[in-house]
Chain A
Amino acid sequence: NAGVMQNPRHLVRRRGQEARLRCSPMKGHSHVYWYRQLPEEGLKFMVYLQKENIIDESGMPKERFSAEFPKEGPSILRIQQVVRGDSAAYFCASSSTGQGAYNSPLHFGNGTRLTVT
């Protein structure tokens, strides 16, 4: 009964490199959400995806960040040309429906901790 799987758990990148974070939702879940937690802050919504579709990316920074959820394989959060301010914990969550928190509380993965040096 695997939960939401994220990898890698820890990722270190130098400034200017690319970071790729992967998320496999719970079995049977087709809705994926990415949240970011900066130090000493709560989680902040970034993007909501369904298979092959970006539903809402209003929380994504306008540049350097992109996300996808292909028909096959995990969801990918991609950060190009990373800067020190990108250092954070990135959490992926999934749900069985996209009808909001009422019907299916989000199940979170253990996160990827990105450190930019």
Chain B
Amino acid sequence: DQQVKQNSPSLSVQEGRISILNCDYTNSMFDYFLWYKKYPAEGPTFLISISSIKDKNEDGRFTVFLNKSAKHLSLHIVPSQPGDSAVYFCAASSSDYKLSFGAGTTVTVRA
């Protein structure tokens, strides 16, 4: 039962443009959402998070938007840089230590 879904396995964007990654979830008990970034042969690195009491959280070039009614969140990266090329995982938690991860979206930033 895949509770967190990332329906786009890959995304290609030109350097300097915006990258938009999408994530949908089914469990209405989720109240905390995170994005992790992963390079090949490395572990996931925490990027940004958002609590369900907010609809937006911004950290530098990264912004996460949450639409609770649609059970949807997105990650915006502006402007995209070559070093942003990686796999991005959406994860969700329901007030405990367990994270449910999506399958990931591979972002490629073209020069």
Contact = CB atoms under 8 A, between A and B. Distances in A.
Contacts of B32: 100-102
Interface size class of B (residues with CB under 8 A): 20 to 34
B25 interface: no
B97 A33 contact: yes
B99 interface: yes
Interface in A36-84: 40-45, 48, 56, 59
A31 B98 CA distance: 12
12 contacts: A4-B43, A35-B101, A43-B44, A45-B99, A101-B32, A102-B51, A105-B34, A106-B99, A107-B46, A108-B43, A109-B43, A110-B43
Interface of B: 4, 6, 32, 34, 36, 41-46, 49, 51, 89, 91, 93, 95-104
